[in-house]
């Protein structure tokens, strides 16, 4: 079994103070795809660096901003930073590792909630990421894309959907993008294993006791080629951990 976790930690130093090491030691994922790492490599706590993982970081040029990382118990065959689009790569948003049997991507898609400019950039990102995703799906090696997509795909993925249609993250054009992206040859692995189940969210606002009331959004995904999606046997959103405004999304794959 291969246990893979996708986790937007909203800053590695803050998550470390809130129990990140305890989560790693208790749950022991084989691979962790981190998003919103928000630190340079020299700022990563030493105790975390000393964990028995191969650690690959892709940090943003802007200090304390964005950034992704992948921790893996097995050494990857190769590493690819970015997708070849200058502004996206300066923000450290996409990191790809290749293994013998599959390719793994950690992605942090921009939020558009801060205004029209960022929403426009988000839509540009989605266009470029479509091209990147298609290139991977056309390859013979299966692909798993883990990360914070900052989009709820269906009404079941967001609380009170009738009031959310004008909000970034649930706009019709964003939801259509997810539908179209899946048609490239990917499957929403978590939803495959929890079809029709409501109130399963991976992000909650810090405001208004949203997590305690489970007023959340499912915006963190494992998007996999069918060969990999069909090998997923268990999927959990680890809501009990409070290191971030997101929860880890952890899936077991039977690759034996």
User: Which pLDDT score is estimated for 227?
Assistant: 96
Q: What b-and-e string marks burial along 13-45, b requiring 16 or more CB atoms within 10 Å of the CB?
A: bebbebebeebbeeeebbbbbbbbbbbeeeebe
Distance of CA 32 to the CA centre of its chain: 10
What mean pLDDT, rounded, does the chain reach? Answer: 96
Where do the domains of the chain lie? 2-253
Counting Cα atoms < 13 Å in the Cβ hemisphere of 63 gives 2
Question: Which of the listed CATH numbers 3.30.70.330, 3.20.20.70, 3.60.10.10, 3.40.640.10 matches domain 2-253?
Answer: 3.60.10.10
Category of 184 on φ-ψ map: left (φ > 0), alpha (ψ -120 to 50) or beta: alpha
What is the reported pLDDT for 115? 79
pLDDT of residue 236: 98
Element (H, E) at 235: strand 232-237
| Count of CB atoms situated within 10 Å of the CB of 210 | 17
**In degrees rounded to 5, what are phi and psi of residue 211?**
-70, -45
Return the pLDDT at 114. 78
Of the pLDDT bands very low, low, confident and very high (cuts 50, 70, 90), residue 112 is: confident
Rounded CA-CA distance 199/210 in Å is: 12
Q: Residue 196 has which token pair?
A: 């029709």
Q: What pLDDT was estimated at residue 172?
A: 97
- Tell me which residues are annotated as active site: 148
Q: What does the pLDDT look like over 146-175, one tens digit per residue?
A: 999 999 999 999 999 999 999 999 999 999
pTM reported for the whole predicted model: 0.97
Q: How does pLDDT run across 191-249, given as a tens digit for each residue?
A: 999 999 999 999 999 998 999 999 999 999 999 999 999 999 999 999 999 999 999 99
- In tens, the pLDDT along 31-55 reads 999 999 999 999 999 999 999 999 9
């Amino acid at each position: 079994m291969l246990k893979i976790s996708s986790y937007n930690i909203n800053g590695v130093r803050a998550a470390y103070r809130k129990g990140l090491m305890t989560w790693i030691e208790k749950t022991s994922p084989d691979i962790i795809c981190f998003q919103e790492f928000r630190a340079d490599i020299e700022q990563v706590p030493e105790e975390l660096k000393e964990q028995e993982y191969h650690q690959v970081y892709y940090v943003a040029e802007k200090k304390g901003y964005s950034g992704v990382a992948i921790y893996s118990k097995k050494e990857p065959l190769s590493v690819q930073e970015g997708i070849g689009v200058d502004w996206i790569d300066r923000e450290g948003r996409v990191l790809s590792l290749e293994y013998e049997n599959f390719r793994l991507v950690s992605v942090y898609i921009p939020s558009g909630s801060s205004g029209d400019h960022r929403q426009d950039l988000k839509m540009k990102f989605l266009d470029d990421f479509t091209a990147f995703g298609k290139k991977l799906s056309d390859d013979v090696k299966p692909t798993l894309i883990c990360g914070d997509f900052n989009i709820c795909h269906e009404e079941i993925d967001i609380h009170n959907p009738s009031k959310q249609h004008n909000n970034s993250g649930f706009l019709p054009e964003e939801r259509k993008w997810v539908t179209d992206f899946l048609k490239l040859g990917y499957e929403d692995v978590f939803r495959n294993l929890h079809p029709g189940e409501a109130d399963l969210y991976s992000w909650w606002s810090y405001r208004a006791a949203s997590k305690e009331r489970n007023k959340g959004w499912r915006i963190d995904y494992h998007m996999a080629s069918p060969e990999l999606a069909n090998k997923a046997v268990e999927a959990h959103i680890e809501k009990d951990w409070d290191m971030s405004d997101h929860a880890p999304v952890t899936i077991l794959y039977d690759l034996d």
